[in-house]
Structure 1
Amino acid sequence: MLTGRFDAAILFDPGPVRGLATQVIFREPLSLAVYVSHPLAAQKTVSAGQLKGEAFIAAPAEVAPRLRQSIAGYCRSGGFEPTFRLEVELQQTIVSLVAENLGIALVPRSMAKLGIANLAFRDLEDAPIIEHVVAWRPGNLNPALAPFLAEAHSDVAAGLD
C-alpha cells in the first residue's frame, strides 16, 4: 500500500501507520473456532478462562497487530497468556487448520459463513470487537478512490456494519 502499488485495501485495523489513512467499514465480534469433537464445541458460549491451556492458531502480530492484541488481551482477561502453536496470515487458512484439529482460534464471527466441515464456532462471553477498515494513501490521485471511499462511508453511516 505504502509503495503505491495498490490504491486501497480492506484489512483489519492496523492501528496508526505513517502515510496511511483508514476508515472503519465493518465491526464484528470474535468467536471461537474449534474442531467439532473438541470439548468446548459442546458449549453454547465460552469464557476467556475456559481457553487456558489451549494451543492457538493466529495471524502474526506484524500482519494483524490489533487482531493479535485483541486475542492476547482476551486471554489475559481469563488469567493467562496464550500459547500460539501456529501463525499464518490468512483467516481462511487459520480455520482450515482448526478443522484439521491442530489448535483453536479466535476469529471474526463472519468466518463461520465459510461452512468448513469438522469446524464448530462458539460465541465468546464478552467477545472483543474487531474492526475492518479501508486503507489508502491520502495523496492518492486515482479518480476512482474518492467515490469508492464515499460509498464505503455511506454503507457504514447506513448501519450496514
Structure 2
Amino acid sequence: MDTRRLYSFVRIVDAGSITRAADILHIAQPALSQQMTSLETQFGQQLLIRSKQGVEPTDAGHALYRHAQVILRQVESAQAEVSVVGRALAGGVSVGLAPYSTATAIALPLLARVREQHPNILLHINENFGGVLSEAMMTGRMDLALLYDAGPIKGVTFERLLTEELVVVAPFGTGLAGESGSDISLPEIAELPLLLPGRMHTIRKVVEQAFGRAEQQPNVVAEVESVMTLSEAVRTGLGATVLPWSVARRVMDVEALELRRIEPGIEVHVSLGTPANQPLSKPAEAVRDVLRTVVADYVKGTNASSQYPADGSITAARSSPAANRATLAAT
C-alpha cells in the first residue's frame, strides 16, 4: 500500500476537486489522476465519481476515506514516535472538550502543564459536542476527549473522572419559589422560561429525563449552544438555565444571579474517552496522564472553592476519594 496515494485520495475528497487538490498538494493534475486510477485498480472498485462540478466519493470511496484517515494518523504517530526514540516525546496530540462542562475549565491548566512537561508535543484542543468527539475518536482523528458519558458508545472507552450536580441559574427577581438559597423542585422549575442547549446535548437530555420521571414538561423558550451567549441571556433576564455549578461560576457573574439546588438532584458525569480499537501513541499516553493529574487537581481545588453567593448555604463541591467525584453538597 502506497500511503502517498491514500493521502492524495483524502485531500481530493476534502477538496471536492482533483484540480483543487492538485494545487494543494503541488502535484500536476494528470499525475494525481493517475494515482487515483492506480488506487481504484488496486481495490478493484470505483472510488470517485467525476463530474464538471468536481468529484464525490462512491460508497466504496466513503469506506476507504474512513480507513485512510485512521491509517494515515497511525503512520504519522509511528513516524513521530520512532523519530524521538531516546529523546523527548514529540508529535501531535488532539484532545476534545465538551462544551457546557467542567472539561472547558481544564483546557488552560492542561495546556500549561503539557507545555511545561512535554514542550515538544503539539497539543490540539477542540471544543465540540460529545457525538462529534466520539466519532472523531472512532475514526482515529482524535486521541482523547473529556466528555459527558450519557451511555455506552461503540468504539469509545470511558473512564469516569468526576460527577457534578446541576443547579438552576437565574437572575434575582425571577420569581423562584421558596426562600433564597433553598432547594427548588422540578414542578417549580417547570414554571420558569428556560434557556438550554439543543436536544443532542447531554445536559438537555438529562434535564428532560428528570422532568419526564416527574411527569413534568420544561418550558424551553430558546436553545442556545454558545455558553457566552447563554451567560449574557441569563444576565439580562431573558430566562433561567440549568448548568453544573462549576460552569456557572466560571462563565457567569454569579454575584448577580441566584443559584438553586434541584430536588431531586440531577447529575452529569464527565469522563475521559479514548479510542477502544487502537492504542494511544506515546505522546498521547503522556498527555492522558497529565490530563488525569489536572482533573485530580481541579477536584481538590473545587473542594476548597467559594460557596454559593446567595447565602453561603451550599458549598460548591465535595470529593469522594474512592470515586474521585466532584459533587455539590449541603454544608
Q: Deviation above 6 Å: which 4+ runs of structure 1?
A: none
1:71 positional shift:
0.5
1:143/1:19 Cα in 2 relative to 1: closer, same or farther (>3 Å)?
A: same
1:57/1:110 Cα in 2 relative to 1: closer, same or farther (>3 Å)?
A: same
1:109/1:76 Cα in 2 relative to 1: closer, same or farther (>3 Å)?
A: same
1:79-111: CA deviations, max 9, x gaps?
321132222234454333221212211111212
- For residues 35 and 11 of structure 1, what CA distance do their matches in structure 2 show? 28
5+ long unaligned stretches in structure 1:
none
Equivalent residue in structure 1 for 2:196, among 42, 55, 58: 58
Identify the residue that residue 145 of structure 1 maps to in structure 2: 284
Percent identity, aligned pairs only, is 21
1:57/1:136 Cα in 2 relative to 1: closer, same or farther (>3 Å)?
A: same
Contact 2:158–2:272 under 8 Å retained in 1: yes
- For residues 156 and 228 of structure 2, what CA distance do their matches in structure 1 show? 26
Contact 2:186–2:263 under 8 Å retained in 1: yes
- For residues 322 and 228 of structure 2, what CA distance do their matches in structure 1 show? 28
Q: Kindly indicate whether residue 275 of structure 2 is the aligned counterpart of residue 126 of structure 1.
A: no
1:34 positional shift:
0.7
1:4/1:108 Cα in 2 relative to 1: closer, same or farther (>3 Å)?
A: same
Aligned-pair Cα RMSD in Å = 2.7
Which of 1 and 2 has higher RCO (CA within 8 Å, sep 6+)? Answer: 1
Identify the residue that residue 45 of structure 1 maps to in structure 2: 183
Contact 1:58–1:68 under 8 Å retained in 2: yes
Normalised by the size of structure 2, how large is the TM-score? 0.42
- For this pair of structures, how many residues does the alignment match? 159
Normalised by the size of structure 1, how large is the TM-score? 0.80
Larger helix fraction of residues: 2
5+ long unaligned stretches in structure 2:
1-132, 297-320, 327-331
1:142 positional shift:
2.1
